[in-house]
Amino acid sequence: MDNNLNFNSDFVTNDASVAKSFVSNVFAYMALALGISGVTAFLFGTTDLIYLLFSKTGMTPLGWIVMLAPLAFILIINFGINRLSVPALIVTYLAYAAVMGMSLSFIFVVYDFGLVTNVFFITAGLFGAMALLGYTTKTDLTKLGGILMMALIGIIIASLVNFFMNSSSLDYLISCAGVLIFTGLTAYDVQKIKRIGAGVEYGTASATKLAILGAVSLYLDFVNLFLFLLRVFGGRRD
């Protein structure tokens, strides 16, 4: 009986160790993408490169391509996960981060730089707290994830409606709801990633691919949380 207890204890320890290593890799990939996006957004948003994307009459052809390209990258990463090699998937992921940075460059035109900086640190703190909660909690967040995904669909529909209504009050409510949704999704996704990590063989190609998929999820949680917080705090330039 003592031998069985020791075996189970070792198994749990190894299982937790693999999950921890996997989650660490996911966060490393996410941080790399955020860094690339941040640098790219700053370069385009604070220099004359912005005119490649936006003109006095609106978005340029390149601007439209940049705005729509991230969706194409997401589809390639998700549906090509089994066909792409690990190097090809990493290159695609990094290219996605760069294009996302270009598409996010508008924030330096629309919002004050000080606000962008402050909201970034607020986002980082909130994201970190919820990620820690998702990693350490014993509560199963599966049902919460389902509810949050339905709520996300709801605010997407509301945003489309408000595109025509142009209601500032509704926009504020959507922004507040977006903050709550992506705050919750952060905890949910981290818990899901931890569970995936416990079942993968560390160091394999499959583990790396799954880590990149997890990084994409957390990257999107962070970026969307950041954008919704910017809308809540306002501070648009005149």
pLDDT of residue 26: 96
DSSP string, 5-35: HHHHHHHHHHHHHHHHHHHHHHHHHHHHHHH
Q: Is 84 helix (H, G, I), strand (E, B) or coil?
A: coil
| pLDDT average, residue stretch 148-163 | 93
pLDDT tens column, 123-135:
999 999 999 999 9
Which residue, chain included where needed, has tokens 């980082």?
124
Q: How many residues does the chain have?
A: 238
pLDDT over 80 at 7, yes or no: no
pLDDT of residue 11: 35
Beta bridge partners of 111: 236
Of 191, 181, 189, give the one whose Cα is nearest residue 224: 181
pLDDT tens column, 161-189:
998 998 889 999 999 999 999 999 999 99
pLDDT of residue 15: 65
Is residue 10 very low, low, confident or very high in pLDDT (cuts 50, 70, 90)? very low
pLDDT of residue 69: 94
- Mean residue pLDDT across the chain: 89
What gap in Å lies between CA 165 and CA 88, rounded to an integer? 43
SS (H, E, C) 169-203: HHHHHHHHHHHHHHHHHHHHHHHHHHHHHHCCCCC
pLDDT over 80 at 14, yes or no: no
Of 103, 184, 194, give the one whose Cα is nearest residue 150: 184
Beta bridge partners of 55: 58
pLDDT tens column, 62-115:
999 999 999 999 999 999 998 999 999 999 999 999 999 999 999 998 999 999
Q: What does R_g of the chain's alpha carbons equal in angstroms?
A: 20
Which residue, chain included where needed, has tokens 């994830």?
145
CA-angle at 208, arms to 203 and 209, nearest 5°: 145
Find how far residue 46's CA is from the centre of its chain.
23
pLDDT over 90 at 1, yes or no: no
Does this model's pTM top 0.85? Answer: yes
What gap in Å lies between CA 58 and CA 50, rounded to an integer? 12
